[in-house]
Every structure is written in C-alpha cells, then in structure tokens.
Structure 1
Amino acid sequence: MADEHKRKAEALVPKFKFERLLRQDQAGRRSCLVGTIDDQPALLILERAPFPSSPDYLGSVPATLQTIQNLGANDVYHWYLASSGTIPLPASSSHEFADLKINLIWPCTEKHIKKYSKQGVRFVTETPAIYRDHVRPFIQAQREAGRLNWAFNIIEGLKEAEDVIYRTPYGQDPEEGFLLLPDLNWDRKTVDALHLLGLVERRDLWSLRDLRKKHIPWLRHMKTKFLDATTQVYPSIEADQLKLYVHYQPTYYHLHIHIVHVELEAGATQATGKAVGLESIIAQLEVMEGDDEAGMDAVTLCYTLGEASDLWVDVFEPLKRTGSTTC
C-alpha cells in the first residue's frame, strides 16, 4: 500500500505542464513555476540539491560537461558558465541553458587550498592598537609581495578589458577614476543576483581602515557614480534596489566596493563580521571627533576569521596565546 502511494506521488511530477515562471530566488537556484497536472492548477518549486559527495561523481563532472563558456580570465583565475548535459542542446543556445557556474584557479597555491578548505571560524576583536602594531604591517607585507598585480592589470586595462562594463577614462583623474565589472561569483545574467565590483584607481587606500573624515565628500561622490553607472548599464534596476558595502577583512588590500541587488540573498560574504555598509562608514566618519585626519583606524572592529587564514595563524592566534587580545 505504501509503495503504491509512493508510485502515484512520483508519477505526478512528469505530468506537470508548464505555463509560466512566477519567480526565482536564492540567486536563481530556486524557481517557482505555475502550470497544471491533469487540468488542475499546480505549483512546482524547483531547487538545486547539494552536489553529491561521491568521489566517482565529483571526479567525472569536469569531463562530462556538455558545454563550457569562458566568462573571463586574469592571472590564475578563470570563470565559466557550463551545461551539465542533462538536456541535449545545440551549441548556439548553450549559454541560455547553462546550469553550472564554475570558478577555476590554476595553477593554485597552498594558500588557495587553505582558503577553500573546511575550517573553523573565529570571531576576533581588532583594536586600534592591534591594527597599528600587527595588522597594518601584515597588510603591508601582503601588498609588497605583489599579490595585487592582477587587480592593477584590470585597473590599467591590461586584463579583463572586455569584462569591464563601465569605466572612467583611465589616468584622467586618478583620485576620481574607477571601473565596474562583474564579481566572479555572478553568472552575469540573473539580474536579481547582480553583484558588481567597483575598483578605484587610487592606490593610497588599502581598506576601510584608511578612510578618514576628509574622504567623506569623495565617498559620497563615488556612491553616486557607482549607482548611476550600474543603473545606466542595467536600466531595469533602480538605485534603491542596490546596496553598497566593503569587506573587512577584504580578500585583497586595494579598496573596492561591492554593489549588489537587494534581493541577492545574504550569504557569508554579506554577514555581520564581514560586510560593512558604505553608508554606515560615511555616517561613522561624520560623527567622529577630530579634524579631517581622524579616521577608521581609530575604531575597534570585530569580524570573523578562518583558522587557516594567515591573519589568524600569524597575528591573532599568537596574540590569543599571550593574552594580548580579547578575541
């Protein structure tokens, strides 16, 4: 009896006749469809299941992709749209039916492997003194190691020029210049999941810690520029459908601003302890005591760190062992 009931339930889905798409959410990973089954109205909600963890399955995926379309490449970073081959499609329409977004880092380093490995997470407190004595020197060492060359390649137009969707004339005004390009995690087609990066030309600002009261007019000007440029490129989006934030700690130490659609579901990269709203930074600077040189380096910041990150291993874990921090 139970088996018969199960068979009847399973037989319903193939009988679904699609009428229209109601909505997509979770950055396009869930789709709500309306249609009919046996002439009765039906809702069908499709949601991508987690990838199977079977080594046989995971090992076979790259070789069995039906189509692969490169979206861009810079240094060791490459990203693609691909079709898993579940529906046979002509190559001319493959980009319309891609069901996988792929990022490739090749050749990768041990640092990349650590970053993407499962690891414990710590919540740390970075006081102005810890920033000055430990984190600032750490950031400087990262920059001096040449790890920003790929970003400078983009800014100077040497790489990913075809991916830049908006830019001010390079070098015309280095303090005001910027460009916009898609974040490598965006599929470039799901508007509700829009995620852009705003890279500024100026190189004197490494992170939000370098922002000062004197930068308030510049920050407001940049916010307006980013919103105007985004809505110009994507006219279906209005300015109040966008939010702007920066990361701390950022992945790389050249000031950049994330511009995302408000409907993009907030994952770890938008969580408290990672993302700081641009308006919140401006508001904090406005009420800060002191002259124009007063800035975010005088603020205590709390955020999360992976236990495999260099900043935890080299800075905060030793500080914790010696009792020199409240993390």
Structure 2
Amino acid sequence: MAERGEKRKRESEAENGGAGDSETPAGAEHPLAGFKLQSILRESARDKTIFLHGQVSGDGKSTEDAVVILERAPFQVETVTRLLGNNPELKLQLKNDIYSVYHLNPPPELNEMKTTIIRPATEKHIKKYVRQELYLIQETGEDYKNITLPFIESGSFSIKVDDLYLIAISHPRGIKSLRDLNEDHLPLLKNIQQEGQAAILKKYGVKGNQLRIYLHYQPSYYHLHVHFVALGHEAPGITVERAHLLSDVIQNLELDSQYYTKCTLTYALRADEPLLQKFKEAGKC
C-alpha cells in the first residue's frame, strides 16, 4: 500500500513551508515578484480553484513564466467558531420564509487561500493546466486490440508512477489495466480488496463500507493499481466515465471470465491527448 509518491511529498512540503519556513525569508526574492497575468488557464467554481499563467521577475532583470494555482482553503472548526461567534457583518441578498442568504466578508486572517506556484514553468506545465475540450470514446474489445494496445506498447503513454496517494499496486507485472483482467486474477483482486480494507481500518479506523475502492480506465499509468478513497472525499477521477468499482469488477469477472476483453468501455479523452488522435485516425470519433 503506497501512500505518497515523490510528487505528493514535494507538494506537501510546499504546503507546509518546506523546511519549516512559514514566510518568505527576509531579503529573499518574493516568489511572485512583479507578477503580470498572461492568461487564465482554467477555473472551477465547484472546486473554488483558478489556474493562472503569468510572468514574474526572475533576477530583477529577466522574466520567468509561472503557473499560479489559487484554491480556497477548506473550513476548519476553529475558524468558523471564531468567525460566527463575533457577530460578523452580514449583507442580506435574499430572504424567503425561514431561508435567508447573506454575503459575509471574513477578516483577512480568516480568509486565506492556498497558493501553489510553479516557476520557472515550462510549456508542458502551462499546457497541463489549460482547459481542454473532452471527447467520449466508446472503446470496443476490437478497438482496444487495434488502437489502444498498440498505442500503449509503442511507449507513447508514460507508465511512470509519480503521483500516488492511497493506492494498492499489484506486484505481478504485465497486467496493464482492466482489459487484461480475467477470472485468473480474481484471487489477486479479492486479496487487494480485503487486505486494503484491513490495513486502512487498522491505521485510520475507516471501515470498508466507508471507502470508495476503484480502478481507472483509462488509467494514469499502465500497471494495475487500485484506489482507496474515503466516501466523503471528492477525489479527482471518480466520475462514472472513468472509475470502475472494484466490487463491480470482481462480480463482472465472476459472471464472465472474458468480460473486460469483450465489453465496450466508455471514457473521456482531452483534446490534446495522443490516444484521441489515434482514434480519429481510425475513424472512430
């Protein structure tokens, strides 16, 4: 069971001030010195997050590209207690019977935003956060053999594991994704489910029926792995066109050993993904 990859580690260090510094050291360059907004790459009202591309003063003379991610911090019990317990100023927006909506402006110390800065940002970084059109692919078993599998084997899709959180990674190699699974893998899948639940219960006190346990298709990397996420946490990639519950996978294979070899799997691809181009070239989308 792997909990954090190096990327998560770096992000955690960045969130917590690296080696313990909570502010920019005296005399050090401000990470957003001379920031000039170039474009809004993407924004999400649901996640209360905005992704920005800008330029900052690198050494006072030259400029560097930077990606800045602004995210509203989650509420904390102590914060809301302080905020609502001091008769905050409320501006009425709407009132209907017992329901009323107000605008509340918290004091600066309670209005922090998590700010992630990537600098110098390469074109690859900027492209990663640009909003892309999405296309649904309905991949049949034949499509997998003729389009997706050759694409995977060409090495065009990275299999580097660089962003792990709470994930079970299978030891056996050669199981790339759902498409490779059959009844021979049922003991492995059941073991991942049972041992994963037991380990999480022991360490975190979270029961199996409080977990969302699933596989991605398409996955981020082609080595079989299973995600374990608390039901209350809306993690990226839990949408119906990507996440497949492990319990459903096990049941499908018990009903038909070749289920994932034959079935049509629907998933979304971004406009800039090479695999989408392969499907277009084959006249499949």
Assess same fold via TM > 0.5.
yes
Q: Tell me the TM-score normalized by structure 2.
A: 0.58
- Partners of 2:208 and 2:224 lie apart in 1 by 22
* TM-aligned CA deviation for residue 141 of structure 1: 1.6
Given candidates 218, 221, 235, the residue that maps to 2:188 is: 218
Report what 1:29 is aligned to: 74
CA contact 2:73–2:113 (8 Å) conserved in 1: no
The one of the two structures with greater contact order (alpha-carbon pairs below 8 A, sep at least 6) is: 2
In the alignment, what sits opposite 1:274? 242
Indicate which of 130, 133, 136 corresponds to 1:120. 133
Partner residue, 1:229 = 199
Q: Which has the higher helix share?
A: 1
Q: For residue 173 of structure 2, what is the amino acid of its counterpart?
A: R
C-alpha contact (below 8 Å) 1:245/1:278 kept by paired residues: yes
Q: CA offset at residue 266 of structure 1? A: 5.4
Q: Distance in 1 between matches of 2:255 and 2:127?
A: 39
Cα deviation for residue 225 of structure 1 reads: 0.9
Please point out which of 258, 265, 287 is paired with 2:255: 287
**Number of residue equivalences:** 198
Task: Report what 2:213 is aligned to.
Answer: 244
- Distance change in 2, residues 1:210/1:261 (3 Å): same
Unaligned runs of 5+ in 1: 1-24, 40-44, 48-85, 88-97, 155-180, 184-195
Q: Which amino acid is the alignment partner of residue 284 of structure 1?
A: N
Cα offset, 1:46, TM superposition? 11
Does residue 129 of structure 1 match 2:142? Answer: yes
Q: Distance in 1 between matches of 2:145 and 2:224?
A: 18
TM-score (norm 1): 0.51
Three-state SS of the structure 2 residue aligned to 1:253 is: coil
Match of 1:258 in 2: 227
Structure 2 residue ranges without an equivalent (≥5): 1-46, 49-71, 89-101
Q: Within 5 A, what are the aligned runs for 1:69-148?
A: 100=114, 102=116, 110=124, 113-142=126-155, 147-148=158-159
Deviations 1:128-174 (A, max 9, x none): 1110111011111227x8x43x43xx8xxxxxxxxxxxxxxxxxxxx
2: CA distance between counterparts of 1:311 and 1:248? 13
Would the alpha carbon gap of residues 253 and 38 (structure 1) be closer, same or farther in structure 2, given more than 3 Å must change? closer
* 1:90 match: none
Structure 1 pair 240/312, CA: closer, same or farther in 2 (3 Å)? same
Question: By how many angstroms is 1:107 displaced?
Answer: 8.2
Describe the shift of the 1:259–1:108 C-alpha distance in structure 2 as closer, same or farther (beyond 3 A). farther
The answer to whether the 8 Å contact 2:229/2:235 transfers is no
Once the two structures are TM-superposed, the CA of residue 108 in structure 1 deviates from its matched residue by 5.8
Q: Aligned partners of 1:266 and 1:250: how far apart in 2?
A: 15
Contact 2:141–2:261 under 8 Å retained in 1: yes
Distance 1:105 1:316 in 2: 35
Residue 206 (1) aligns with residue 176 (2): yes
Could you say if the C-alpha distance between residues 309 and 38 of structure 1 is closer, same or farther in structure 2, counting changes exceeding 3 Å?
A: closer
* 2:272 maps to amino acid: A
Aligned match for 1:197, one of 141, 164, 167: 167
- CA RMSD after TM alignment: 3.7
Percent of pairs with identical residues: 27
1:198 and 1:257 in contact (8 A); partners too: yes
Are 2:240 and 1:305 aligned? Answer: no
Post-superposition offset of 1:223: 0.5
8 Å contact from structure 1 (residues 205, 211) kept in 2: yes
